[in-house]
Amino acid sequence: MRIYILRRLLGIIPTVLMITLVVFVMMRSIPGDPVVALLGDAYTEEDAIKTREAYGLNKPIAIQYLIWLGRLAQGDWGTSILSGRPVLQDVLFRLPVTLELIVLSMVVALVIAIPAAIIGAKRQNTWADYSATSVAMIGVSIPEFFLGVLLLLTFSVGLKGALPSSGWVYLPGTCTSVVCAAGLVGNLQHVLMPAIALGVGRAAILTRLLRSNLLEVIRTEYVTTARAKGLGERSVVLKHSLKNALIPTITVMGLQVGFLIGGAIVVETLFAMPGLGTYGIDAIIARDYQQVQGFALVTAFAFVVINLLVDLTYSLLDPRIRYGS
């Protein structure tokens, strides 16, 4: 098992490198390059050529990639053309925002999905079940940004601006720069709507999945045995059925991470949050190569690590599963 974990950890590096390489090549296939934006009104052909040489943009793509890798190994993530700051600094500044958003959205999703699934499974084909399933169906069909708009309408426009519509207040301790607003209440106010917007869609999918898994588990013999032994219903449901039903659900949750990352991009754009999502999309549109590479590196790494964690949790929940034996 330990060897398996080690092998998977080592396997992260080639996967992440491959993704960054593909992004590298794709960015350079886009018409236009950062030099045009950089020089702006003062653009002349001569200056453009000189600037390209200075940034190393006229070298073959493979060489450029190796240079980037070399600098990366020394801890230099390059400098962003858009902001003028080192990319690593920007990434560390924005990472807590996106991390908080994603973690809270999953919490929201689980808080909604687990009770709904349990109700749906225990009272199958009753009104409670049908309403839970319908709400789940609605949740799956709403795009995150529309839900965000609805939340904005309710809480920012209506209700006399109870929640702010944009901006960000940092959790105390997460801000790496000198100047930033921090505070627990302010942070909660800013993160609540985005987290709900992102979490409800995931909750809908999780509810449907968990409910059908629970239905299967409740019919099994060991649950009947547990009930026959006289175990309380709560213990039967929570300890025995839920744990087993969660296993295939978690696998799917891992696959959901891809959607979560994309959804985070959209939600951050809608609520104007200073996170990695807005970082990445601003960079892609402005063709800021260094910034895009930083964004791709962090995203790919997170994606791969989360998949590994999901696999390991799988093994934790079901002791019969031990990899690599």
By CB under 8 A, name the binding residues for other proteins.
15, 18-19, 22-23, 26-27, 29-31, 137-138, 140-146, 149-150, 152-153, 156-157, 165, 212, 257-259, 261-263, 265-266, 269-270, 280-281, 284-285, 299, 303
Q: Considering the complex, what minimum distance in angstroms separates the CB of residue 205 from other proteins?
A: 11
Between 169 and 205, name the residue whose CB sits nearer to other proteins: 205
**What sign for the dihedral angle of Cα 139, 145, 146, 147?**
positive
Between 169 and 296, name the residue whose CB sits nearer to other proteins: 296
Between 226 and 261, name the residue whose CB sits nearer to other proteins: 261
Q: Considering the complex, what minimum distance in angstroms separates the CB of residue 55 from other proteins?
A: 20
DSSP string, 213-250: HHHHHHTSHHHHHHHHTT--HHIIIIIIIIHHHHHHHH
Q: Considering the complex, what minimum distance in angstroms separates the CB of residue 125 from other proteins?
A: 12
Between 195 and 267, name the residue whose CB sits nearer to other proteins: 267
Q: Considering the complex, what minimum distance in angstroms separates the CB of residue 177 from other proteins?
A: 26
Contacts of 123 (CB under 8 A, 6+ apart): 129
Between 13 and 26, name the residue whose CB sits nearer to other proteins: 26
Q: How far apart are CA 81 and CA 84, in angstroms?
A: 5
Contacts of 300 (CB under 8 A, 6+ apart): 15, 16, 19, 20
Q: Is 167 left (phi over 0), alpha (psi -120 to 50) or beta?
A: left
Element (H, E) at 152: none
Phi, psi of 279 (to 5 degrees): -60, -50
Q: Considering the complex, what minimum distance in angstroms separates the CB of residue 231 from other proteins?
A: 28
Residue 267 amino acid letter: V
Q: Considering the complex, what minimum distance in angstroms separates the CB of residue 157 from other proteins?
A: 5
Between 31 and 173, name the residue whose CB sits nearer to other proteins: 31
